[in-house]
Amino acid sequence: MSGSVDPVVRFGTFELDLRTGELRKSGVRVNLPDQPFHVLKTLLDRPGELVTREELRQRLWSAETFVDFEHGLNAAVRRLRDALGDSADVPRFIETLPRRGYRFIAPVTPQPAPEHEAPLPAVEETRSETFPTSVVAPARRLTRMSVLGVIAAFTLVAAAVLWASGLRPWSEETYRTASVNGRFMLAVLPFANLTGDAEQEYIGDGMTEELIVQLGRINPSRLGVIARTSAMQFKKTTKRAGQIGADLGVSHVVEGSVRTTGSRVRIAVQLIDTRSESQLWAEHYEREATDLLTLQSDIGEAIARQIATSLGVARGTVTADARRHSTSAEAYEHYLRGSYHLRQDTTEGLEKAMEHFRRAIELDPGYALAHSGLADTYTLSGSYGLLPMSEAYPLGRAAAMKALALNDTLAEAHTSLAAISADYYWDWPDAERHFTRAIQLGPNYETAHVFYSFYLAYMGRHEQALALAERAKRLDPVSPQAQMNVGLVLYEARRYDESVDAIAQALDLDPNFGGAHVMLGRVYAAKGSADRAIAELERARGLMGPRPDVVATHAYVLARAGRQREARAVLDELRRISKPRDPAPFRLAMIHIGLGETDRAFEWLEKALEARDWQMALLNVEPIFDVLRSDQRFAGLVERVGLPPIEIKTRRSH
């Protein structure tokens, strides 16, 4: 078989299509990312033969790759074994020959593709029938507020109709084979903006996000919905539905578009089975954009009937969903703009987000989601040093509490308040109460899972923290940040080798993800790999510039490596770039630990405690502080922050 491989290869209960990269087990697609697929394909080229690590490196890893090859390959093989249900100790498919390479040991049968197999329809062809690409010049321009009002109403009815028209008739057998847990995973792809106005791009984005929320709340035990971050990476994609399904690990995708003609708005949507790339359901809605309040009321009734008929969900859920957004289309527009700028994660973005959220609240003081967005803007401004933490966090808490007073069913507001309670007030029971409520209300809301996983790590509950971080990653599968969060939780659990593998996977998704290089530098420092740690921090600084958190970590790893003169020069740089309102006491303490100046480190930790620096929540779990744990002063700090005493267990690195 060497040198020539048929299009479809069978081994055990698996089939691998070498043309499309699709792996199936007993006919059911198994998610297999790109790099593990290429490793498997290389092994199947020479079944029963040793394929050395060097051969894999030359074939699959370019010389320009920044990720450490050894860990990148280990991560790819681990993910491949997970997909196959294989074990390194008792292998059925892939045998490891220590320090040499790998061998595929299962019997392999080439299987030619069927002679009369019909070609799968291209996604663009499918779209052309339902979503015409030409834009009719409007007789008169529709106002944005009218479009937004119809869109807000549409997202509610579409969520119910998708279930009623597309999913409900499928058999229990279909449900069982959709995923290993009998649970559908679905992605809402970014809606295409066919209005002819590039300035209205954010409207389709907002509708996409809202539909993700609505679908995610219908029946979480039977339907998981991929997070917005991962879905938005397929904006204006040319990939086929099958490839998107494989990339995201979903069985179905929703596609849609928005366009205007005269005074009318047209919204088209379709549901696609990614396995067969077939359209299961399609519909379009065309309405006059007038009397939005009546329109929303009518659609709300339609939703209630659809949910009651299709799923038997109590109508109380409808009430909660129907009041997520303002009845003021202008306030809704400002909310969408604020959310867009908040996600940019920049100083300028935060300032613009704050303007839009405040304007939305002025237009509709009862708009709970706008208050929740404002809460997040305040707290991020505090953590970035744009506002004093003593000002930012109380303002954020007040905004989050206002949001919940207006609507206590918002997972977003509960998550905001939980994070503030943990990071600034150190009210741990209150934080956990709101985190658990957020996940009850938003089982597919990945942000709540991520933040709660951090909280659990603070408490030393590492297995629970890892389970939540992994679930967030499944909800956001092509997000480098979600993958890195898993690495962070593993780092705090002292599982350093696994942490390196997880962060390497984040860098596989985005080699220029500066935060992952910072995190990888911290892990290498904990492992005692000083040269690697310094290289990662230098790479991060080249990508991210002189940000205080990056500079501080750079100074620490230089100090740990014994390069004290350089470390002190970087320490001076940190003092220059830190604003008076944000002297970075916690970061300065970290650097003095690296320099071996224990008393100076405790001085800065005391200042961090006084300033209620949010990073003090990390005292229990940050490995950098392990050298201080035997000192009674450290135990006193932990007690004053209100953290429980935990036992630190360090796993040996290999």
> Interior CA angle at 291 toward 289 and 297, to 5°?
105
Q: What is the pLDDT of residues 140-191, one digit of tens each?
A: 344 444 544 554 555 555 544 444 444 443 333 333 333 434 466 788 888 8
Per-residue pLDDT for 321 more than 60? no
| Cα distance between residue 100 and residue 74, in whole Å | 13
pLDDT on residue 155? 53
Helix extents (H) in 561-631: 564-577, 585-594, 598-610
CB hemisphere CA count around 504 (13 angstroms):
24
In 455-564, DSSP assigns E strands to none
Query: Looking at domain 478-654, which of 3.90.550.10, 1.10.3720.10, 1.25.40.10, 3.30.420.40 is its CATH number?
Result: 1.25.40.10
DSSP per residue, 103-161: EE-S--EEEPPPTTPPPPPPHHHHHHHHS-S--PPPSSPPPHHHHHHHHHHHHHHHHHH
| Cα distance between residue 92 and residue 85, in whole Å | 9
Per-residue pLDDT for 402 more than 60? yes
Highest mean pLDDT among 32-46, 224-238, 529-543, 578-592: 529-543
Mean pLDDT of 621-625: 93
Residue 139, C-beta contacts closer than 8 angstroms, at least 6 positions apart = 261, 262, 263
Mean pLDDT of 264-271: 72
Per-residue pLDDT for 386 more than 90? no
Mean pLDDT of 397-410: 94
Highest mean pLDDT among 14-18, 256-260, 581-585: 14-18
pLDDT on residue 68? 52
pLDDT on residue 169? 34
pLDDT on residue 602? 97
Q: How does 358-396 read in b/e, with b if 16+ C-beta sit within 10 Å?
A: bbbbebbebbbbbbbbbbbbbbbbbbbbbbebeebbebb
Query: CA–CA distance from 598 to each of 53, 589, 615 (Å)?
Result: 44, 9, 18
Mean pLDDT of 566-573: 91
| Cα distance between residue 650 and residue 494, in whole Å | 5
| Cα distance between residue 390 and residue 387, in whole Å | 8
Per-residue pLDDT for 528 more than 80? yes
| Cα distance between residue 430 and residue 421, in whole Å | 7
Query: Whose CA is closest to 264, among 149, 134, 130, 131?
Result: 149
Residue 128: exposure state from Cβ atoms within 10 A (0-12, 13-18, ≥19): exposed
The mean of the pLDDT values for the chain is 76
Mean pLDDT of 316-333: 60
pLDDT on residue 422? 93
Per-domain residue ranges of the chain: 8-111, 123-322, 478-654
pLDDT band at 461 (very low <50, low <70, confident <90, very high): very high
Mean pLDDT of 303-324: 40
Element (H, E) at 368: helix 368-383
Answer yes or no: are the C-beta atoms of 557 and 580 closer than 8 Å: no
pLDDT on residue 62? 54
Per-residue pLDDT for 590 more than 60? yes
Per-residue pLDDT for 572 more than 80? yes
Q: What percent of the chain has pLDDT over 90?
A: 32
| Cα distance between residue 162 and residue 303, in whole Å | 11
Architecture label for domain 123-322: 3-Layer(aba) Sandwich (3.40)
pLDDT on residue 36? 86
pLDDT on residue 154? 52
Answer yes or no: are the C-beta atoms of 35 and 42 closer than 8 Å: no
| Cα distance between residue 121 and residue 101, in whole Å | 40
| Cα distance between residue 503 and residue 519, in whole Å | 8
CB hemisphere CA count around 345 (13 angstroms):
3
Q: Is 547 helix (H, G, I), strand (E, B) or coil?
A: coil
pLDDT on residue 382? 81
| Cα distance between residue 317 and residue 159, in whole Å | 13
| Cα distance between residue 365 and residue 510, in whole Å | 40
What is the CATH number assigned to the segment(s) 8-111?
A: 1.10.10.10
Greatest CA separation for the chain = 77
Per-residue pLDDT for 446 more than 70? yes
Mean pLDDT of 535-553: 87
Q: What is the pLDDT of residues 89-112, one digit of tens each?
A: 667 889 888 778 899 988 887 644
| Cα distance between residue 511 and residue 504, in whole Å | 9
pLDDT on residue 399? 97
pLDDT on residue 286? 67
Highest mean pLDDT among 175-179, 381-385, 398-402, 648-652: 398-402
Answer yes or no: are the C-beta atoms of 287 and 279 closer than 8 Å: no
Per-residue pLDDT for 323 more than 90? no
Q: What is the pLDDT of residues 335-382, one digit of tens each?
A: 878 887 887 666 778 889 999 999 999 999 999 999 999 999 999 888
DSSP per residue, 501-516: HHHHHHHHH-TT-HHH
Query: CA–CA distance from 157 to each of 45, 169, 285, 312 (Å)?
Result: 50, 18, 10, 16
Q: What percent of the chain has pLDDT over 70?
A: 72
pLDDT on residue 581? 55
DSSP per residue, 400-468: HHHHHHH-TT-HHHHHHHHHHIIIII--HHHHHHHHHHHHHH-TT-HHHHHHHHHHHHHTT-HHHHHHH
DSSP per residue, 26-55: TTEEE---HHHHHHHHHHHHSTTSEEEHHH
pLDDT on residue 510? 85
